[in-house]
Chain A
């Protein structure tokens, strides 16, 4: 047993080596920050520091050829997605506890000479809260300090360094499961923790594992579902990019629990960085002896493969995902048989979402009771949400179940923004939760304690956890149409009610938006929605009508206004627009008449102009030009 990995030694060596560092500068290497040039910032910083004679390392080694390293310079590490994408590129300076936001290559020289050499804080690079306060470190920023991060707690580590993951307690949970526990005990621990599937449905993970354990078969599989297709959700991407070893460790524990020896990570092809980091993490884990045969000296083997998706939303459904790994069209199959009995290549298979698996190591390490300490009775633990849309701070957040929408939108998110990007405090209209399967939450639900069950009672669902905030300049029918267009596109075509029904619903919504709807439209829309729900095999079809039903339930007056009065209250539906020029506000400056591409506006200089509604193509060019707010109805 010479090759048994010594986790304690690796952790101690890493901590000892890290303690000798002069400085560690963490630059966010998530998709968002990389897109904004964070890696260029890192290169420039290395160049500037070297010019001053500082020792710089981009890859942190604790040992070389069996000898301890004594590096005492500056370590420029990259991290996974830290969640505050909008403010990126993010640069953390440790141990000074300074967080700089929106750092550009041109700022680097100043950071080096002012902060790193002289120790001064550069005020203009700090995060400015909506109340005007300048925040120096992330502990003073409400976006961060009001969260409770468990799954995302390791987002500051170098994702491509397995030793750092181990130093933060990584793989200790897996070792415990593999060497000290029986399969039943692992299932029971996760069941006791009350962990529920984060992919949307909320099925108890421990129970799923127990069913798969009960299936007798020499060959079983663990699949990690990273086909995060919901538009507006990106937590799985962030976890795979920022903490890939937690996913592998979670899969290893699942494998122990069900008796599997092989696993697949199914990653969306739209996430090239996540694919790359998962490949790298698997290779590193194999090299370190954390994947392969006789792991931790026990009679337990486990191997992981990465499978890249090819762009089909329906593959997020378990049976469709299995078909896709088998090289077929990703179409769902009727259940039963459940994957627990007959999954990948007919073998018992457990499929868990990325975030679910990444929560598992923590449960094994800390125990079920610690995990239950936060969250609600029926939905313990924390949930990550992707907070986007019309909100001051967009990004990835993690909060305990039971947190209210008000806390998320106003305190963490910093409030709702209007179309000019300003927070006025009066713009909240709704939050769309759970993507194309979810529903809307309105002003009345701001104080609802959100968990799997409370959300169901109001016709929404946790789903994958996308929270899209919408201000009151957003037309809800257009939002419903947007989701309908998405599900109609992504319907695999197997079930007729889903394939044809979504198409008909989309046509009905178009009728409403374009002013062709009559008194039967709304009823027809509801009847079709019910038919699609009842007649579809998989979750995609069953939940596809949710955005329509939910907006119909809470914003019926808006629908009725479109249908009966042919007025879009927000003015977003151009076909219903009735543009006119207010004579008392028009100064006759002729700016609008000159801008109009079809010559629909006429009038003399310094006299009120007139708009010919028959000629107007409702392009909005005149409204954008008018300095006096004289053009309305567009």
Chain B
């Protein structure tokens, strides 16, 4: 009994933000995409629990919310790393050899297109179709930081800096 109570209370705290977002959007079905965007901004990804919770709250089957969440590239169903590298693979970046950067960073972090988040949840590497900064091709986004006319060495240096900083943080 005690345990269930504790779990329920913890869940209640966990869902405070979702409730606020649902409230703000009037529990409206047509606001589903903005709701999911805001929820993801807070929780970093959409867990199965949250998908079901949102579906029940706005009165649609979970399959419908799941359908939307899997359709759009922006929604993540798995947790992402603390540092997300997004490599632009638009036409301009592609012809300026963006794949060289991608391969280098995959190799350094031992990641693949299938397994794109490191086990320690530090790094995620993904490609995006076009960031619209073609004049700076090739472009790499590290979280919100834009790196234009990037080279493999330059991006690997950023990776190394992060690893160093994280190590220093941990040993403190």
- The answer to the question of A410 belonging to the interface, with a C-beta cut-off of 8 Å to chain B, is no
Cβ of A31: which chain B residues have Cβ within 8 Å of it?
131-133, 146
Contact B128 A389 (CB under 8 A): no
With contact pairs A231-B89, A310-B72, A327-B68 given, residues A32 and B137 touching in the complex (Cβ less than 8 Å)? no
Contact B30 A326 (CB under 8 A): yes
Contact A482 B94 (CB under 8 A): yes
Contact B72 A432 (CB under 8 A): no
B69 to A: closest C-beta gap in Å:
9
CB contacts under 8 Å to B, within A375-409, are 386, 388-390, 394-396
A32, A36, A231: the one within 8 Å of B91 (CB): A231
- The answer to the question of B161 belonging to the interface, with a C-beta cut-off of 8 Å to chain A, is no
A310, A329, A474: the one within 8 Å of B95 (CB): A474
Interface size bucket, A side? Answer: 35 or more
Contact A232 B74 (CB under 8 A): no
With contact pairs A86-B136, A231-B130, A479-B95 given, residues A312 and B89 touching in the complex (Cβ less than 8 Å)? no
The chain A residue sitting closest to B139, CB to CB, is A35
A498 to B: closest C-beta gap in Å:
15
> Of A35, A84, A269, A432, which is in contact with the most chain B CB atoms at under 10 Å from its CB?
A35
A457 to B: closest C-beta gap in Å:
23
Cβ of B91: which chain A residues have Cβ within 8 Å of it?
231-232, 388-389, 432, 435, 466, 468, 482-483
Contact A308 B92 (CB under 8 A): no
Contact B134 A270 (CB under 8 A): no
With contact pairs A310-B75, A312-B73, A330-B72 given, residues A470 and B95 touching in the complex (Cβ less than 8 Å)? yes
A479 to B148, CA, bound (A): 22
Cβ of B71: which chain A residues have Cβ within 8 Å of it?
312, 329-330, 492
Scan B15-34; emit 1 where CB is below 8 A from any A CB, else 0.
00000000000001111111
B72, B128, B136: the one within 8 Å of A32 (CB): B136
Cβ of A237: which chain B residues have Cβ within 8 Å of it?
132
Cβ of B44: which chain A residues have Cβ within 8 Å of it?
none
Contact B134 A394 (CB under 8 A): yes
The chain A residue sitting closest to B148, CB to CB, is A35
Scan B115-130; emit 1 where CB is below 8 A from any A CB, else 0.
0000000000000111
With contact pairs A35-B148, A327-B31, A468-B95 given, residues A310 and B132 touching in the complex (Cβ less than 8 Å)? no
A432 to B75, CA, bound (A): 31
A479 to B91, CA, bound (A): 9
- The answer to the question of A258 belonging to the interface, with a C-beta cut-off of 8 Å to chain B, is no
Cβ of A85: which chain B residues have Cβ within 8 Å of it?
133-136
Closest 6 pairs between A and B when the two form their complex, measured CB to CB: A85-B135, A35-B146, A311-B73, A231-B90, A310-B72, A232-B91
Chain A interfacial positions (CB closer than 8 Å to B): 31-32, 34-36, 84-86, 88, 228-234, 237, 268-272, 307-313, 324-330, 345, 386, 388-390, 394-396, 432, 435, 466, 468, 470, 474, 479, 482-483, 486, 489-490, 492
Chain B interfacial positions (CB closer than 8 Å to A): 28-34, 36-37, 67-68, 71-75, 89-92, 94-96, 128-137, 139, 144, 146-148
Pairs A–B under 8 Å by Cβ, sample size 12: A85-B134, A88-B135, A230-B130, A237-B132, A270-B130, A310-B33, A327-B28, A329-B67, A330-B71, A330-B72, A389-B91, A432-B91
